[in-house]
Amino acid sequence: MNNESKERQTKEEPLTRGWLYSLRKVIKHKQGLVGGILVLIIVIMAIFAPYIAPRNPYERNVPRMLEAPSGEHWFGTDMQGRDLFSQVIYGSRITLVAGLASVLISMVLGVIIGIIAGFHGGRLDLFISAVIDFLLSFPTLILALIVVSILGPGLNNAVLAVGFQGIPIFARFIRGEVMVQKEVGYVEGSFALGASKFRLVFRHILPNIIPSITVMATLELPRVILMLAGLGFIGLGAQPPVLEWGRLMVSARDYFFLAPWLINFPGVAIMISVFGFNLLGNALRDVFDPSLQ
């Protein structure tokens, strides 16, 4: 093994040990364990939906429409005789992917804007902060409704709208984290030794705020899932025949008293996913923030 390989291994081992240590702490955390199991179940449902779902979720069987839950149809059937359990299983794919895409949009753009504002400072920081404060003055759902009403209904537009409304939330949070890290001694020392701004940001500041970004994204995901479901419920999100949990609920509004299971089971799926991500996010926050311990 040459010197370069030894040096690379020396740098990677502490990082790997650090993440493994954090993972063990999350598993030992009661909320983290429960939340991780719930999230794992949702992810497994989304990945292996074709193997878990007992029937084709789009297959119609009109003579058996609006059947109550039974041994043959665990969650009952909808107004077209389709198996609701299969629809909920397949719906986890759309809901999870759409939620992750929205959070990714908010996170990437919010991190970039937050780093620019926090690291650069001065008038640019004042301008960006003013824009962030202006956007945060709108209720998040109202801001998303404004964007999706401009773009038009549809799942892709709903993802963009929800992702856009989350940008100022991430930007303000990351700006504060960068301003704290910028004042740390080793960053000031590196700057005094002539390190470039690019090196300071990507070598010193960004790696140290990645845990905070991870926690923020995990805590944002359940809120995003609820917003996407809300947009779907009022008809501005996913459109038929897309199987999204919020869309499943809006399709069953007229049958609430006749077939309540059509709303109850997708609603429970949303509740479990939001509950799991909230527990996991709280556990990650406790692990990565020593001041809370």
Name the residue ranges covered by the structural domains of the chain.
35-49+79-292
Confirm if 46 and 243 have CB atoms less than 8 A apart. no
Element (DSSP H or E) covering residue 119: helix 84-120
CB neighbour class for 284 (10 Å; exposed up to 12, middle 13-18, buried from 19)? buried
**What pLDDT, on a 0 to 100 scale, did the predictor assign at position 108?**
93
Distances (CA, A) of 24 to 17, 69, 201, 276: 10, 40, 29, 18
The tens place of each residue's pLDDT in the chain, 293 residues long, gives: 454 444 444 444 454 555 566 667 767 777 878 888 999 999 999 999 899 988 888 888 888 888 888 888 888 888 888 888 999 999 888 889 999 999 999 999 999 999 888 888 788 889 998 999 888 888 877 888 888 888 888 888 889 999 998 999 999 989 888 888 777 666 666 666 666 666 777 777 787 788 888 888 888 888 898 888 888 877 788 787 888 888 888 877 778 888 888 888 988 999 999 999 998 888 888 777 655 44
Please give the distance of CA 136 from its chain centroid, rounded to a whole number. Answer: 19
Confirm if 38 and 276 have CB atoms less than 8 A apart. yes
**Taking the model in full, what pTM does it have?**
0.83
**What pLDDT, on a 0 to 100 scale, did the predictor assign at position 232?**
81
Q: Class assignment of domain 35-49+79-292?
A: mainly alpha
